[in-house]
Structure 1
Amino acid sequence: MRLLTGLLLALCATLCQAATLTVDTGHGTRTFTTEQLLARPDARDIAVPDDVSYHRSMTYRAVPMKALLDGVAAAAHLQFTALDGFTAEIPASLILDAHGAEAWLAVEPTGKPWPALGDGKPSAGPFYLVWLHPEAGHVGTEQWPYQVAAVRMLADPASRFPAMRPAPGLAANDPVMRGFAVFQRNCITCHTLNGQGDAKLGPDLNIPHSPTEYLRDDMLRTLVRNPQDLRHWPQAKMPGFDRRTLSDADLDDLVAYLKHMATRKAKP
């Protein structure tokens, strides 16, 4: 009995250890523990009225995200990496000056986990980027990364992943170019394209085949709007994108980009 009790206590101690967040702003890497973040003088309780992940009002102890980004210029680009391989690509300007939208890093207290995100799923902790007044900065649902483990400053995706870029010479307002922007904002978090990208959750969207090559346009739109309406799979992880998150015009542009890239497959 004592042995069992000792093992349980040891297990609890292991599970209850403070989590660590790594932040690399290009001027050296810093680490922050749960306790360090919660003890900061700028930490406060915030109420998030329409939490993207929990789909209800939530209250968190959080610190302003921009306070952890010393030395980062508004023109820089940030990547938030989650424990499950999800990567959110967020322009630094959206955090540093989003015209009223406020980015906060919610911190899950040690030993007091937030609710699970669903049956058999963990919570959004240990760190979760949440927003107040997200509509002011046109913040998308994919820009609320949870289970964050690291934040680092990188070049933007178009620079890092040249095989994702459309053919040169297209006008900035061409539907394909607009669709590329939609892809970077909503799809690159889970998918690679032409074998390039940092995400590890979803399949590549161009090789060996683009979804535009095996799905009718209406079926592809159904997949994006609500994947479960196309194929019912209880373990599916892909979220649906409603019209508030992804307008019909944005979806049209995304389809145009994917069709264009189907003609620009990377060679093995």
Structure 2
Amino acid sequence: MQRALLLLSFIPFLACQPSSKNTQEKPSVDSTQTLVSELDSTSIDLVEKKATLGKAETITVTNDPVFHKTKTFEAIPLGNVLKQIPAYAHLKPEETQVVFECEDGYNPSMPLTKVISSKAYLAIRDKDAAAGEDWTTLQKGPETKKIAPFYICYTDGRGNDPTYKWPYNLVKISLTSASKETAALFPKHDDSVVKGYGLFKTHCLTCHALNGVGGTLGPELNRPKSVTEYWKTGDLKAFIANPERYRDRVKMPNLGLKKKEIDEIVGYLSYMAKQ
């Protein structure tokens, strides 16, 4: 939406600029297409660009946290894929977030510095799949998960660190300003909930949005009304601790959070209810 507004406000500005003949001219089709291209230069559609993503290699992932075993994939170094995003060469890694956009609304993000300092790969095929298949079927409880078309994985043992994301069903990668995400979510007026903010960002933001920032797999948690305003606090904390006790076929997993961590997250959500 912001790109569209910027485009609409910028084109009339171009149109009213005088030419060398002191006449008003509308921007050419070529110049408009160039502007659209520039505004759209911070992401890559993986499905559309599949044929040109780069050369794949065979990799082995030990203790894959999605499949819970050692896996072998045909994969492309993620750094090579990111370099195909037009804006990549001009961004400062320490000021940039990588957003992984999945078909099902799961949209985790990571600092670009973490991504490029790890052995991250874009898996394009599961080499352990049955003959004639590109991917192994993943069963999680009663649900069958779709891994295709792409999956982010690591060969340097990142499975136990929740700050490293392993999104599957991936279709798009975008680059965004880290300060933009922080500005929308950081508790500016209460230092006591900063820890809760960090925990929420690590464990919850991938699936849930807050004030429009975050994933769409789960519900928005703050607008138009905060979840803390219509859930009893005790029930909300108990649900976060063990969702399956509250809802049949719930999509939210047990995050393995400690009681104090859950308290911190709910405290942050309560603070954000006023923001």
Q: TM-score, normalised by structure 1?
A: 0.69
Do the aligned partners of residues 191 and 27 (structure 1) sit closer, same or farther apart at CA in structure 2, a change above 3 Å counting?
A: closer
Deviations 1:50-104 (A, max 9, x none): 222223322111122122222253211111100122211111011112xxx4221
2:151–2:169 contact (8 Å) kept in structure 1: yes
Deviations 1:113-167 (A, max 9, x none): 31222255343121111123344993447x11111111011123x625855342x
Percent identity for Structure 1 against Structure 2 = 27
Q: Given the alignment of the two structures, is residue 123 of structure 1 paired with residue 146 of structure 2, yes or no?
A: yes
Distance of 1:151 and 1:138 partners within structure 2? 21
Q: Which residue of 2 aligns with 1:259?
A: 270
| The 10-residue stretch of structure 1 (129-138 or 26-35) with the greater mean CA deviation from structure 2 | 26-35
Q: Which residue of 1 aligns with 2:57?
A: 44
Q: Say which of 217, 221, 240 aligns to 1:201.
A: 217
Q: Say which of 81, 89, 107 aligns to 2:101.
A: 81
Distance of 2:208 and 2:42 partners within structure 1? 29
The one-letter code of the counterpart of 1:123 is K
Q: Which residue of 1 aligns with 2:175?
A: 153
| Cα RMSD (Å) | 3.2
Deviation at 1:34?
4.3
Q: Given the alignment of the two structures, is residue 179 of structure 1 paired with residue 178 of structure 2, yes or no?
A: no
The one-letter code of the counterpart of 1:77 is Q
Q: Which residue of 1 aligns with 2:5?
A: none
Q: Which residue of 1 aligns with 2:28?
A: none
The one-letter code of the counterpart of 1:106 is A
1:63-78 map, 5 Å = 63-70=76-83, 71=89, 72-75=91-94, 76-78=96-98
Q: Which residue of 2 aligns with 1:223?
A: 239
Distance of 1:30 and 1:135 partners within structure 2? 25
Distance of 1:68 and 1:45 partners within structure 2? 16
Distance of 1:82 and 1:181 partners within structure 2? 23
Distance of 1:145 and 1:47 partners within structure 2? 17
2:125–2:134 contact (8 Å) kept in structure 1: yes
The one-letter code of the counterpart of 1:183 is F
Q: TM-score, normalised by structure 2?
A: 0.68
Distance of 1:207 and 1:77 partners within structure 2? 24
Q: Say which of 247, 251, 254 aligns to 1:232.
A: 247
Q: Given the alignment of the two structures, is residue 56 of structure 1 paired with residue 56 of structure 2, yes or no?
A: no
Q: Which of structures 1 and 2 has the bigger CA Rg?
A: 2
Q: Count residues in correspondence.
A: 223
Distance of 2:157 and 2:238 partners within structure 1? 26
Unaligned runs of 5+ in 2: 1-38, 84-88
